[in-house]
Amino acid sequence: MKMRASFTAGRRLSFFALPLVLALLTGGAWGAQRILIPQDMPLPLYVSGLGHTGLADDDLVGTAFFYPPELIPGDYDLSNMPVYNYPVGAVPSLVQGFLIVGGQSPNPLQVVLQNVPGVLMPVWFTRVGDWDYYPWTVNGMLAEEPLMGWADFYRELQEPLDPSQPNGPWHHQTVASGMMEDGRSFFVWSDCTQAQGKGYANVPDLIVHFGP
**Segment 42-70, tens digit of pLDDT:** 888 899 989 889 888 999 999 999 999 99
pLDDT for position 145: 93
Measured distance CA(41)–CA(14) in Å, rounded:
14
The list of the chain residues with pLDDT below 70 reads 1-31, 103-106, 132-133, 195-203
> Domain ranges in the chain?
7-210
Q: Residue 44 in contact with residue 20, Cβ under 8 Å? A: yes
pLDDT for position 31: 67
pLDDT for position 168: 76
Q: b or e along 141-164 (b: 16 or more beta carbons within 10 Å of the residue's beta carbon)? A: beeeebbebbbeebbbebbbeeee
pLDDT for position 3: 39
Q: What is the pTM of this model?
A: 0.83
